[in-house]
Structure 1
Amino acid sequence: MAKLYFYYASMNAGKSTNLLQADFNYRERGMRTMLFTAAIDTRAAMGAIASRIGLEKQAIAFDAATDLAAIVTTEHANAPVACVLVDEAQFLSEAQVAQLAKLADVDGIPVLAYGLRTDFRGKLFPGSAALLAIADNLVELKSVCECGRKATMNLRVDSAGNAVAEGAQTEIGGDDRYVALCRKHFTERLAAAEG
């Protein structure tokens, strides 16, 4: 039975690397995969899944209007799709998460979704909330805080490294804009920025 998996973590935990390794494993065995990533994230290039360690692969870029299930089922009818892999899954809509669940439940295609759990204020992203609610398997990937404890939060910082407490939920960036921290250090630095 196919399942919907949600691999979540803070920044710098290796989500994209893990996704690209899973894709490689399927393809090495001669199985066809389909990769998706959020169109809003153009840090590497439009439709590119890129890891910090240098791995990169092209994917289908999605936005809120993209019908993921329609794309996959059309391709699956032409040649079997063994697995669907989604990077930046926090940017999925609730409807798109339901589409991914349908691919697993009805079409029998495993779906591996990778993304952030929370934003820079510690609030759930809509896509992540939907995945946490209905995914068959939840897998936390680990990152490390500056203190050595497990990092679970993403602190947005300015160019001087100071915490940012206000702004839009989505602002694309990497190490220049976000720092992965444990909850204790996230809370302390965010409180200092708000105070």
Structure 2
Amino acid sequence: MAQLYFEYGAMGSGKSIEILKVAHNYESQGRRVLVMTPLVDDRYGVGKVTSRIGLSRPAEVINPDDNLYDIIDATRDGDLAAVLIDEAQFLSTEQVDQLAYVVDQFNIPVMTFGLKQDAFNHLFEGSKRLLEVADKLEEMKTICSFCGKKATTQLRIINGEPQYEGSQVFIGGDEAYIPTCRYHWYHPILEKIKKM
């Protein structure tokens, strides 16, 4: 029985490399996958899933008003083995519900990967809905940039200063975010930030 999966973790926990690995595993067995990513994630170019270690592949772009059920229905042709979605935190509530409907109606697994919360420790809309309706939740782990304990969030750094307010969506990578535990999100070591 197919399931809706949500694999989440702080920035730098390997979510994008995991989606690339899963896609490779399916395709190496001759099975077709549909890899998708939201339009808003343009860090490495629109329509790409790219890991921090440099691996990349093209992906179908998800626009904010796209009906994912209709898109997947139109492309499945009976041989679609799985749907893989990167940066799922940027999906709308409706789009997550459409993915659940894909799983239930077509018996196709849908694996989503993304952040649970933003840099201010508030849930993203897509993540919130995935936490509510996904069949399987899995946390991907990385370590705090300051102490080496498990990172549970990410701290936004702009011009060497931690940011605790601003726009929820601010696209960036290692130059703008560092994974942290809860303690160091509240109490970052400023001298260490300036050296990063």
TM norm structure 1: 0.94
Q: Which residue of 2 aligns with 1:75?
A: 75
1:17 aligns with: 17
* TM-aligned CA deviation for residue 67 of structure 1: 1.2
Q: Deviations over 1:114-161 (max 9, x none)?
A: 00000011000000000000100000000111211000111111122x
Does the 8 A contact of 2:49 with 2:59 survive in 1?
A: yes
Residue number in structure 2 paired with 1:167: 166
Among all aligned residue pairs of Structure 1 and Structure 2, give the percentage whose two residues are the same amino acid. Answer: 42
Separation of aligned partners in 2, 1:11 and 1:36: 19
- CA displacement, residues 90-135 of structure 1 (integer Å, 9 cap, x when unaligned): 0000000001101111111000000000001100000000000010
Q: Which runs of 5+ in 1 are unaligned?
A: 191-195
Secondary structure of residue in 2 paired with 1:157: strand
Identify unmatched segments of 5+ residues in structure 2: 190-196
Structure 1 moving runs of 4+ over 6 Å: none
Kept in 1, the 8 Å contact 2:38–2:64? The answer is: no
- Give the equivalent residue in structure 2 for 1:187: 186
Q: Is the 8 A contact 1:37 1:86 kept in 2?
A: yes
Q: Which residue of 1 aligns with 2:90?
A: 91
**Are 1:157 and 2:161 matched, yes or no?**
no
Q: Secondary structure at the match of 2:36?
A: strand
One-letter amino acid matched to 1:121: F
Question: In structure 2, what is the Cα distance between the partners aligned to 1:85 and 1:97?
Answer: 13
Distance in 2 of aligned mates of 1:175 and 1:75: 35
- What secondary structure sits across from 2:37 in the alignment? strand
Q: C-alpha separation between the residues in 1 aligned to 2:167 and 2:35? A: 27
Deviation at 1:166, TM superposition (A): 1.5
- Quick one: distance in 2 between partners of 1:46 and 1:56? 12
Work out whether residues 158 and 177 of structure 1, in 8 Å CA contact, stay in contact via their aligned partners in 2: yes
Output the CA distance in 1 between the equivalents of 2:149 and 2:7: 20
Report the Cα offset of residue 19 of structure 1.
0.4
Contact preservation (8 Å) 1:9, 1:140: yes
Aligned residues: 188
Distance 1:95 1:154 in 2: 26
Q: Note the C-alpha offset of 1:54.
A: 1.2
Secondary structure (helix, strand or coil) at the match of 1:57 reads strand
Instruction: Confirm or deny: 8 A CA contact 1:159 1:176 kept in the other structure.
Output: no
Deviation, 1:63, is 2.2
For residues 63 and 93 of structure 1, the distance between their equivalents in structure 2, rounded to whole angstroms, comes to 10
1:48 aligns with 2:81: no
Partner of 1:31: 31
CA distance in 2, matches of 1:189, 1:170: 21
Query: Which residue of 2 is the match for residue 2 of structure 1?
Result: 2
Match of 1:121 in 2: 120
Counterpart of 2:100? 101
